[in-house]
Structure 1
Amino acid sequence: MQPTTVSIIIPCYNKRAYVAATIKSALAQTHPCEVIVVDDGSTDGSLNEIKHFDGRVEWVTGPNRGGCAARNTGVEMASGEFLQFLDADDILPPDKIARQLAALSNAPEGSVALCPWRMLHDDGRVDLPDPRPYWKSYDKGINFLLDMWMHGGFFPTHPWLVPRALAEASGPWNTELAADQDGEYFGRLLTLSGPAVFCSDTVVHYRSPPEGAVSRDKSRRAGESRIQAFEVVAESILSRRNDRAARRACLSRIRKTAYALREFDDMVAKAAAWEKRLSVFDFSPSLPPTARGLVGLLGIKRGLQARALLKT
């Protein structure tokens, strides 16, 4: 039997200080992997760092088109049966791929693997993992997604190991989004997947996002993107199951999204429209305690108004 092939895809834009360590962590995998680095028009010398690994990795460079386009380019170049996405400032432990492949070896076709993650700081500190209720295996990916949405959490791109066939079925990374690109991508993928296998015996490191990172963008454009990402995934969920659990999870997610965007009245109004559509009463646990009570009783729009009055 031929060994399972895995492609590690690293998009890079202006990560000169980190990209070499990231590539080394990919090359250090105990299960040999194809490593593909896509330089997205870096201007800080990142490409020179990448070229040091010429012959050990495949690399390509081009104009800056964004991380999603770079990942799509990497997928097009990849030959592996499984895909591992790895941002250019994050780190994989050497056993990550091997342990997840072992966990998937007896899993049904279309299963995905994921693992814990912990925050890595520039001074070398590594936070302890912060376990959540959904850090466990699920019989279907959509059930994992609903629990994660219900509790308001997220996973970065590199805890996952994804079958290429499943990635192709769910579609490419959305190059139109300005924020929550990974939430939208993996959300679509999970609504189609088989079991989600949680591998607690390996842990990846996630670089603490610096100022200016996509995850910290609070602009109107980023807010509109977060709403759009929610709507795409919510429609995919509700097309497959429209029970109370699915509607509660969607409600929790849109309320948390609107809470973070509460300065934009039109985005709060979109969330209120979703509340009406979902038609379920719930105190969404993804919100802070005070907001949870007010929004649960009054709805997102009036609940936020009441919160503002209480604060003044």
Structure 2
Amino acid sequence: MPDQYDKTTISIVIAAYNAAEHLPRAVKSVLAQTIQPNEIIVVDDGSTDNTKQVLEQFGDRIKYIYQNNAGPGAARNTGIQTATSEWISFLDADDEYLPNKLETQLEILARHPDLHWITGNYIRCLCDTQTRVPLRTKDEINQILNGSDTYDDFMQAFTIGVFGWTGTMLIRRNAILKAGMFPTDIYLAEDIDLWLKIAYNHPRIGFAYEPLAIYHMGVQGSLARNKASYADTNNFLSHHLKLAKQHNCEDAFQPCARRILVAWIRSALFDDRVKNVRSAINDFRNLLPPGLYLFFYVLSIFPQLTMKTCLLLSAISRKLRLRKRVWHPTD
């Protein structure tokens, strides 16, 4: 790695809410990095447990900030505003970095110094069974990127579902500020909202093949992972369809909007919110191919068929995904 990147400054922003059980693991994963960040900022979003006390073991290596409960977006924004480094890397208190996270991303930056952000592969840990599943295998990513370590357009990455997640992002602080930071007035995908706003200005993004972090699924007390109402989804899609048009990105964003819509519809069908589904497919009919529109319409008018179909599709998808991608720490 060129010597000039020894001067690259990185702040880690950890948002925490009632996270005493898992927060030490997250902090230790940052301290175990092969290249150390310049500062670690923990923003306590109004915790009522002993989140503050569990940080005492780390002494002055942690910059601790307490604020009244305002949500994950507001907590991360506090960290961004406090940060003094050129680059920001995010981590939620219930997740963890793998040791080479920052080093791997700085190596990509050394090859592409014009990048404004870098993401990468990660491990999904199913907490109840401790099954570890990578987002994609290295061979799959190599095929998707044709051997490159960058996407020309983040929206392409988002559309195919290979864009990392909050815990894999390393972003220039000025790009985050230019995009307006995380929204604090929405309850759907505040992270995706920011990524899209960054992509309108800086579409090119670096991508690491190796897993960078572990996303712990099913952890109690998580800051995020809430179900979204249809009103939230409608507002989100309408807002970004308008923004994409303003940035001349409408064609690129259409597949992203379709992915968001279909993901919400699937979730709503599982929850038996069929009236909302009918509203969604009618309000955003232009985003759905005719066959997919008809499929969702039929499911929305036959509730028993809907549940059986959803359960079957979920079981098949889960079985195939786990069979293909089970990952072991020694691999």
Per-residue deviation, residues 40-84 of structure 1 (Å, max 9, x unmatched):
111111110123323111111122111111100000110111110
The 5-angstrom pairing of residues 211-290 of structure 1 reads 213=222, 216-218=225-227, 220=229, 223-239=230-246, 240-243=248-251, 246-262=253-269, 263=273, 265-266=275-276, 268-276=278-286, 278=287, 282=289
* Whole-angstrom CA distance in 2 between matches of 1:146 and 1:191: 15
After superposing the two structures, state which structure 1 stretch, 52-61 or 84-93, moved more.
52-61
* Whole-angstrom CA distance in 1 between matches of 2:76 and 2:115: 21
* Whole-angstrom CA distance in 1 between matches of 2:235 and 2:79: 24
Kindly indicate which of the two structures has a greater share of residues assigned to strand.
Answer: 2
Answering whether residue 51 of structure 2 is matched by residue 46 of structure 1, we say yes
| 1:182, distance to aligned residue in structure 2 (A) | 1.7
Answering whether residue 157 of structure 2 is matched by residue 147 of structure 1, we say no
Per-residue deviation, residues 124-159 of structure 1 (Å, max 9, x unmatched):
8351314187764311223323333xxxx7743111
Matched residue type, 1:304: L
Given the superposition, is the C-alpha separation of residues 224 and 47 from structure 1 closer, same or farther in structure 2, using an over 3 Å criterion? Answer: farther
| 1:122, distance to aligned residue in structure 2 (A) | 4.5
After superposing the two structures, state which structure 1 stretch, 117-126 or 20-29, moved more.
117-126
Gaps in structure 2 of 5+ consecutive residues: 309-331
SS at match of 2:11: strand
* Whole-angstrom CA distance in 2 between matches of 1:111 and 1:62: 29
Kindly indicate which of the two structures has a greater share of residues assigned to helix.
Answer: 2
Matched residue type, 1:225: D
Given the superposition, is the C-alpha separation of residues 78 and 126 from structure 1 closer, same or farther in structure 2, using an over 3 Å criterion? Answer: farther
Gaps in structure 1 of 5+ consecutive residues: 284-292
CA contact (8 A) 1:112 1:160 kept: yes
Normalising to structure 2: TM-score of the pair?
0.76
Answering whether residue 82 of structure 2 is matched by residue 77 of structure 1, we say yes
CA contact (8 A) 1:154 1:183 kept: no
Matched residue type, 2:267: A
SS at match of 2:134: coil
Give the alignment partner of residue 300 of structure 2, picking from 297, 302, 305.
Answer: 305
- 2:325 match: none
Q: What fraction of aligned residue pairs are identical, expressed as a percent?
A: 24
Dislocated runs of 4+, deviation >6 Å: 132-135
After superposing the two structures, state which structure 1 stretch, 191-200 or 80-89, moved more.
191-200
Given the superposition, is the C-alpha separation of residues 264 and 108 from structure 1 closer, same or farther in structure 2, using an over 3 Å criterion? Answer: farther
The 5-angstrom pairing of residues 20-59 of structure 1 reads 20-33=24-37, 34-59=39-64
| 1:11, distance to aligned residue in structure 2 (A) | 0.8
* Whole-angstrom CA distance in 2 between matches of 1:123 and 1:249: 31
Answering whether residue 141 of structure 2 is matched by residue 128 of structure 1, we say no
Given the superposition, is the C-alpha separation of residues 310 and 174 from structure 1 closer, same or farther in structure 2, using an over 3 Å criterion? Answer: same
Per-residue deviation, residues 279-298 of structure 1 (Å, max 9, x unmatched):
xx627xxxxxxxxx4x34x3
- CA RMSD after TM alignment: 2.9
- 2:319 match: none
Given the superposition, is the C-alpha separation of residues 215 and 89 from structure 1 closer, same or farther in structure 2, using an over 3 Å criterion? Answer: closer
Given the superposition, is the C-alpha separation of residues 207 and 310 from structure 1 closer, same or farther in structure 2, using an over 3 Å criterion? Answer: closer
| 1:196, distance to aligned residue in structure 2 (A) | 1.6
Normalising to structure 1: TM-score of the pair?
0.81
| 1:259, distance to aligned residue in structure 2 (A) | 3.4
Given the superposition, is the C-alpha separation of residues 229 and 164 from structure 1 closer, same or farther in structure 2, using an over 3 Å criterion? Answer: same
After superposing the two structures, state which structure 1 stretch, 60-69 or 104-113, moved more.
104-113
- 1:290 match: none
Matched residue type, 2:185: E
Matched residue type, 1:52: Q
